[in-house]
Amino acid sequence: MITPDLEMQLPSELGSTHFVGIGGSGMSGIARLFLEAGHRVTGSDLRDTDAVRELRELGAEIAIGHDAAHVGDADTLVVTGALWQDNPEYQEALRRGIPVLHRSLALNWLIRGHRTIAVAGAHGKSTSTGMLVTALRELGGDPSFVNGGVIASYGRSSAYGADDLFVVEADESDGSFLLYDTAIALITNVDADHLDHYGTQEAFEDAFVRFAQGAAEFVVASSDDAGTIAVTDRLVGKKLVTFGFASTADVRIHDVVTDGPVSFGVEYAGRDHLARLAIPGAHNAVNAVGVFAILVELGWDPDAVLRALETFQGTGRRFELRGTSRGVRVFDDYAHHPTEVAAALATARSVVGDGRVIAVHQPHLYSRTQMMAGEFAETYERLADHTVVLDVYGAREDPIPGVTGELVAARFRDPGHVDYLPDWQQAADQVAAIARDGDLVMTLSCGDVYRIIPQILDALEATADPAMSEPAGA
């Protein structure tokens, strides 16, 4: 794992930039911005994905696989924290003395001189960022932006705009959200996560205090989340706008209806407004109210803001419908923390009707799996009808002996509600054996679990008898 050097002095010019792992969700968006800003961009990735092909069409020169020769005549190397230290391109840059920037540093270099809105929080960042960008555009603005997920309405995760506003999904996982010269900070929640980096909940909260305290104009933050309250209580001399269900919230949400696309009431400045979204989920109503708080504070008319938010169609890998076979809908979601999983499954439950919810869980990170196996098991057993657990997606971590997906499965009270199947084809076949017409299947992880979806759809299609039996104990 490569940790960003938050004190690194940025070069005045970056020249030709080479992105290692250019197809990743964060890296591809930043690479696109560099291309749109007129930079020569090269890169490499392990697979020839849609993101890689799109960047090639925009002019990037991209090689498949990692090799020292791919660095070529690059002036700057851009890397992600998930990169291993022994990567040959990284090592070649070190050998040749080529400046190496973590992707957050590269983005920070790019957004200099803009009025930055940074969206941070353990959960809800990508959706909130997508909502904010969509609403600003609908209101006639043209912000620059970079998001962790593709904004469905635009089919992209980043763009250069003509306005001075730059909307950034700010990554707290490695502390890099502290880099930005933030004008406006949005904090969705401060639910303890990434303790492999921070060590303790207190250190995690300390980082959010620094982030919020650094906002030059104002801070918008949840009125309901205990971690966020602990952070905002420590702010000094900051203009704070709160949102949520609390009676004391500056923007208060109430009467949430989750039967299909979510609707809710918004109380602001002594007036009540009716709000509707095009997407389901009570958590998305909360995300929308946080965005509303920013926009009205910037001077936009409240009713115009709510109309603009109605146009938001979601972001990639956030309760994203990927296909239907044999009457079974298959969704994908980025959820990788128990709180996120609970929100995703509650959304699934709100739209499945009389059907059942079948979850496919890919644990993300060995450390998180070790620390939170019981919380994951409790969440899945409570909110899904059946769960298939895959093995751990280690990402930036080395394996921890004894830590596999079986840790999660073993913590279910009723073993009839769970299968631990590290073999993906066996997992897909089991999902097809369980599922019946009207059910909803959802893959959950920020790893590569979405790659199992074609196998699930094929297995469903190949199932001869559509009358499926229920899993034991369902």
For the chain, 474 residues long, give each residue's pLDDT as a single digit of tens: 677 676 788 888 999 999 999 998 789 999 999 999 899 999 999 989 889 999 999 999 999 999 999 999 999 999 987 788 899 999 999 999 999 999 989 999 999 889 999 999 988 899 999 999 999 999 999 999 999 888 998 988 999 999 999 999 998 877 778 989 999 999 999 987 655 666 688 888 999 999 999 999 999 999 999 999 999 999 999 999 999 999 999 999 999 999 889 999 999 999 999 999 999 999 999 999 999 999 999 999 999 999 999 999 998 888 899 999 999 999 999 999 998 999 899 999 999 999 999 999 999 999 999 999 999 999 999 999 999 999 999 987 889 999 999 999 999 999 999 999 999 999 999 999 999 999 999 999 989 999 999 999 999 999 856 444 454 444
Question: From CA 110, how far away is CA 92, in angstroms rounded?
Answer: 24
Sign of CA dihedral 33, 34, 39, 43: negative
Do the Cβ atoms of 268 and 296 come closer than 8 Å?
yes
C-alpha separations of 39 from 30, 33, 357, 406 in Å: 12, 9, 46, 46
Please report how the helices 338-351 and 366-383 are oriented relative to each other, as an axis angle in degrees rounded to 10. Answer: 30
- Residue 465 confidence (pLDDT): 61
What pLDDT is attached to residue 472? Answer: 44
Q: In terms of Cα–Cα distance, which of 251, 431, 466 is closest to 356?
A: 431
CA distances from 32 to 56, 75, 235 (A): 10, 18, 36
Are 361 and 444 in contact by the 8 Å Cβ rule? The answer is yes
Positive or negative, the CA dihedral 429, 351, 311, 224 is negative
Is the distance from CB of 288 to CB of 279 less than 8 angstroms?
no
pLDDT (0 to 100) of residue 122: 83
For each of the domains in the chain, give its residue range(s) and CATH number, in order of start: 17-105 (3.40.50.720), 111-309 (3.40.1190.10), 320-462 (3.90.190.20)
Q: The whole model's pTM is what?
A: 0.84
Token reading at 469? 């039996």
What's the token pair of residue 88?
């040959």
Which tokens sit at 439? Answer: 């059910």
Pair 388, 419: CB distance under 8 Å: yes
- State the distance between the two ends of the chain, measured CA to CA, in whole angstroms: 41
* DSSP state for residue 71 in the 8-state scheme: G
Q: Quote the CA–CA distance of 309 and 9 in Å, as a whole number.
A: 39
Which DSSP category does 249 fall into? Answer: -
CA angle, residues 360, 319, 44, in degrees to nearest 5: 80
Q: What is the identity of the amino acid at 314?
A: G
H-state helical runs in 58-175:
88-96, 103-110, 125-138
Greatest Cα pair distance, the chain, in angstroms, is 66
Backbone torsions φ then ψ of 414, nearest 5 degrees: -110, 105
Written as one letter, the residue type at 342 is A
Rounded Cα distance between 111 and 134, Å, is 19
Backbone phi, then psi, for 47, in 5-degree steps?
Answer: -130, 150
66 touches 87 (CB < 8 A)? yes
CA dihedral 46, 47, 48, 50 (to 10 degrees): -120
- Listed in sequence order, the residues at least 6 apart from 377 whose beta carbon sits closer than 8 Å to its beta carbon are 408, 409, 410, 411, 412, 418
Among residues 106, 131, 130, 125, the alpha carbon closest in space to that of 19 is found at 106
3-state helix vs strand vs coil in the chain, percent to 5: 35, 25, 40
Separation of alpha carbons 289 and 224, rounded Å: 12
As a whole number of angstroms, the distance between CA 57 and CA 397 comes to 33
